[in-house]
Amino acid sequence: MRQGRHWLIALLLVLAAPSLFAQIPPLAVYVEGSEGNFRRGFIQALSADAQPLDLVASVDDSDMLIGLGDEAFSRALTHGKPVLGVFVSRALAEKVERKGCHCAAIWAGVALDDQLAMLENMMPLARKVGVILGENSAWSEGALQDYSGRLSLFPMVVSPRNELGDVLREALPDLDVLLLPVDESLFGPTAAKLILLTSYRLRRPVFGPEQSYVQAGSVASLYASGGDLVSETLVHLESFRKRKRFRRSGFVHTPSVIVNEHVAGSFDMRYSNTDALRDALEMLP
């Protein structure tokens, strides 16, 4: 009797094999975004990956959409299909998720703890860190309150009633360093000039928020490069293809690093070039 039962189980496994081991079909994806080099490069990078992925030319042929940036993400949500936002402001992503969208997002910027780890490596004696925040910043006051490290974080909130210049003049003299989150609505060219000139007049270094600011005169930054965004996107797409549900929204897990060597040298930073800082950060647990 026992042999017969084993034989029956083996037969059922053989009959079920085609369905158990059937390949999951490729995911048909349409990329929503402004026409330009970034969208073209993003699509080419996705196409070059070995994952089962079918990049289609129309929304109608897609299983899901990718929205590059806030505007494209918002447009993609109107089609009633699953949407992955890429380089989307955290405030927008969390707002639509609270409304129950079938979506997720790779947030613009990098995690607060990651930027602080970089800052600590370059300025081990720093204690008082001012963090400028606006309505659409990648970090919130709550994120600063949740920080449990050795640094003291001071939120510098900018609003129509509390202008950037006033915030800088009031708080910056009492701080060791200034840290900026990604916030495209707050940190434009005019703000960059104001922040960098004010900080260097008071000899207070600035970290972040991204590559362009470092090139303009901030000390260093971790940032989400195009390659970082593509890698994170592929992880999300593969998860969705296999499970038909999104991973949790968040920042890229492996950001890039850049140092302005001239500025870092003028402040006698512990690491004054990109390669040395990258190596130091890779050694962190």
Write the CATH number for 67: 3.40.50
For residue 147, the SS3 value is coil
pLDDT at 284 (0 to 100): 76
The pTM for the full model equals: 0.87
262's CB contacts (< 8 A; 6+ apart) are none
Domain span holding position 90: 24-107+226-243
Number of neighbours of residue 169 by Cβ within 10 angstroms: 12
Identity (one letter) of the amino acid at 221?
S
155's CB contacts (< 8 A; 6+ apart) are 131, 133, 141, 144
If asked whether residues 171 and 276 sit together in one domain, one would say yes
Counting every residue written for the chain, the total comes to 285
18: number of CA atoms within 13 Å, CB side? 1
* Calculated CA dihedral for residues 192, 198, 201, 207, nearest 10 degrees: -50
CATH number where 146 lies: 3.40.50.2300
pLDDT over 90 percentage in the chain:
76
If asked whether residues 30 and 158 sit together in one domain, one would say no
In a domain, 10, yes or no: no
Identity (one letter) of the amino acid at 241?
R
What is the per-residue pLDDT across 11-40, written as a single tens digit (0 to 9) for each?
444 444 444 434 677 889 999 998 889 999
pLDDT at 1 (0 to 100): 47
43's CB contacts (< 8 A; 6+ apart) are 31, 55
- Cross-strand partners of 252: none
For residue 238, the SS3 value is helix
Total domains, the chain: 2
Q: Do you find a cis peptide bond into 209, omega within 30 degrees of 0?
A: yes
If asked whether residues 191 and 277 sit together in one domain, one would say yes
> Which positions of the chain have pLDDT values less than 50?
1-2, 9-22
If asked whether residues 162 and 267 sit together in one domain, one would say yes
Residue with token string 């512990």? 270
